[in-house]
Structure 1
């Protein structure tokens, strides 16, 4: 039996139980039928005895010198008419006046008479001259209440057994019907369990559950199971960590009530298929895959149906996997930032090469004073920009980026206006910010502004940066403003989505657009800042970044 499946064990156990139940039911019904037969016979005998005792002929006959001569024919007629085995009319001293067998007349009655002599009627089962019988004894009283005679009417136990046996077919039919219906129900339940459990043994099911539970909690990716109602029913520890959920499982809950980002919550609740979709949380970049969980709906699970066709499938819900892509995106952002910085430095190097050629040409033309003045003026301008940026922000990398962007703007014919706010307070300088994050934020915002004004008449981009104080705390503030056409109102809610771009779709696809602002938004979130987008009075887009600075830190 150890090799039997769960369905087989359940079927065997249920059949044994139903068999015992049917046997018990049969025995109970048999005893009930027997009890009912005795009670019904006793009631009938009591009715017959009471009727005879109430007959005035009996009272008058017992007062005569020879009661038997009058009562024996009377008793014989009653026994034949009422179909009873005996009707004994006796004196209070037990002397029989009547009997089924005339040889017993005049002899003492066998049985209890005490209650009848006291004036009470009763029934009993007693073994007399005819064998065991069910009998009723009733007193015959005169007008004064004195007991003048006793009447005993009875039916032998064999006749009672015949009446009982007449009810046995109904008892057996009920028992057999209960056994048949119980067996059918057990078979159908066993068949359902066999199909549901794929005829596995209990130990196999336990091992399978243990393996699945171990796999659920050991995978490095977040795993979520969602039912057809869009409710989250199960998730592993990694998913809880990535999404900020409470570890463990409870009752099904709507993902929209868990404080998840709106796009991710709608994806989980809606159950649509997703392949490598990026979703942003306040501190993570997640790659989400989602697909329906399907199971064969037909009886032959996993086996081809007729003509090689597989049975129809039913949807159980959706399975969602979540991967942490934050580190990869951070590396991508750093790479993009380095590319931006490299492009800017290449533009600056190109411009410096042109200026160096100019200085060399002035020297060759024997005009050293003008060459010295040109070189000094260029050095002062470059050094002033670097000093202003370093003094305000404390980041040489940002100063190099802005210097390169200024050179890049000159090459593209764009007027880049850099404004560095004076550091308020005691002049000790603000705290250092992460240079990689700053380069990502500033480089992408300035590049987007350049793209927005490229080809327009009088293109201009304004960059204002510095440290400001608000409510007693310091923070870094960056504003990038352009004179382009601005951002359409219907697109402002989506411009920070990865892959979304306001550029021409063909050009955007070829240039890998739709990632810059998403990286900027994620960098701002990692630094605990805010990013606002709007339009200024002269038209064009305006991006404002505010980043908190640790209090008391020095550059």
Structure 2
């Protein structure tokens, strides 16, 4: 082998050795990078900015459950950078995700301060040592959904009662066709059940309208005196039949902005409730006063009162503190819910004070309109026609 061949062979061997060395170096660097990715707890670039832009609570934790980055909303759940996950449910979720490598979502309860909240927590793996947790508060959503389910169930139940009664009474009238007295008796009961069904349907529609997103169409300056007078007159026949006096007091000449008919119905509902739950011979009071740019309209009775456990739910649809008495007096269980939503749509609030055996006071607060001229009220009917209308209406109205 001559010198030229030897030189060429040397170059080939050198190239092979050099290539192997380069390959080893590249392999070593890649191995190092893989090791760093597996063991690193460095947060990927941009993670903090993404978390700070989120409305939901979100955190990045390492394998020891240490919080490395957190959104602003995470603070309300006690999750902050440098702290550790305190919730066993969250820890269990993270461990499961780290084991499977597949993102997962679970519904659980977390504390927001001292308040328990229902949340949907989703965990997903970012790196072998880092896990992202996103926490969405679904408490309100679930509450609304439960109210919707209750509303559908209660509406179905409430409608079945008068519909069933109407069917049975119609059959009874047919069977008693040869007995005029029985026919009149059953016809009277049939009319009462039909009126009850109509009242329930009307109140469901009114409540639905008040809960809709549409603005109230007939907003104008309304004299509180006219609203209170109309509400008292709407319950006058019922109160007189029960031996109950409605006394009015307080300031005059105050004006609010709203729909006269809706406000009259709301106050009338409170008066109907007060009359229904007061003993015969008692007095129901309604007072009006100005306080801090608001008009307060209070309806007070000395009736049976409402237990403290029921006071938190009394404005819910179909909720009755006294089921037997409410059904006996023809109540729909929607009156106070209508009051609450009617007042809220007018930018006001309604509050309750009550003690069992001492009575109840419902106070409506509405924004006061100063220096306004209330719109003209509808022409008042004659006393005779009002009595006739009241007598017809008394059969339709029941307590709440």
Q: Which has the higher contact order (CA 8 A, sep 6+)?
A: 2
Larger radius of gyration: 1
Query: Taking structure 2 as the reference length, what is the TM-score of the superposition?
Result: 0.42
